[in-house]
C-alpha cells in the first residue's frame, strides 16, 4: 500500500491533523494508531464509543475512524453524535463483515476493515489538500 508523501512540508502538515481511532479490538486499534503516528499524524485511540466522546472533548479530531460494532453503541450512532458535536470531523466507519467497495452514505464513508487504513490515508490526504 502506498503511504503518504515523505516531503518534509507534508510531514509538518500531517502533524496538524488529529485522528481518533475507535475499535474495541485492541490489536486493530493500536495498529492503526501506530501506523498513523509513524506517518506523522497525531493519533489517539479509544476502545469504546463513550471513551471516544470523552477524548474528543479535548482532542477535537479532524477525522474519526471507527468500527461499526462497538460494545456500548454502534458506529453509526457514534458518527451521529460526532456530526452533532463536531460537524467538521470527517468519519470513516469500518466493518469486518463489509466486503463491498467503499460506500458513501449520508456523509459517512463505510469500508471493509481490511482496506480501512488505506482509505484513512486517502481521506487524510484529501483533508491536507483542502487546507
pLDDT over 60 at 26, yes or no: yes
Residue 18 maps to which CATH number? 3.40.50.2300
What is the tally of structural domains in the chain?
1
Write the CA distances from 2 to 17, 59, 82, 121, integer angstroms: 19, 28, 29, 9
Tell me whether residue 118 is in a domain.
yes
Tell me whether residue 39 is in a domain.
yes
Model pLDDT for residues 43-86, shown as the tens digit of each residue: 999 999 999 999 999 999 999 999 999 999 999 999 999 999 99
Write down the pTM of the prediction.
Answer: 0.86
Q: What pLDDT sits at residue 4? A: 52
Q: What pLDDT sits at residue 82? A: 95
Long-range CB pairs of 3-6, under 8 A, 24+ apart, other chains included:
3/39, 3/121, 4/39, 4/40, 4/121, 4/124, 4/125
pLDDT over 50 at 1, yes or no: no
Model pLDDT for residues 79-120, shown as the tens digit of each residue: 999 999 999 999 999 998 876 666 776 667 889 999 999 999
Q: What pLDDT sits at residue 128? A: 84
Tell me whether residue 3 is in a domain.
no
Tell me whether residue 2 is in a domain.
no
Domain range holding 124? 8-129
Amino acid at each position: 500500500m502506498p503511504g503518504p508523501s515523505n516531503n518534509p512540508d507534508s510531514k509538518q502538515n500531517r502533524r496538524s491533523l488529529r485522528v481518533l481511532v475507535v475499535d474495541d479490538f485492541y490489536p486493530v486499534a493500536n495498529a492503526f494508531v501506530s501506523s498513523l503516528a509513524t506517518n506523522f499524524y497525531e493519533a489517539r485511540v479509544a476502545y469504546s464509543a463513550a471513551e471516544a466522546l470523552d477524548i474528543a472533548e479535548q482532542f477535537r479530531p479532524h477525522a474519526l475512524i471507527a468500527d461499526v460494532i462497538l460494545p456500548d453503541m454502534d458506529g453509526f450512532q457514534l458518527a451521529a453524535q460526532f456530526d452533532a458535536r463536531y460537524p467538521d470531523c470527517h468519519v470513516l466507519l469500518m466493518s469486518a463483515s463489509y466486503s463491498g467497495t467503499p460506500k458513501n452514505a449520508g456523509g459517512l464513508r463505510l469500508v471493509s476493515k481490511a482496506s480501512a487504513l488505506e482509505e484513512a490515508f486517502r481521506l487524510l490526504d484529501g483533508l491536507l489538500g483542502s487546507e
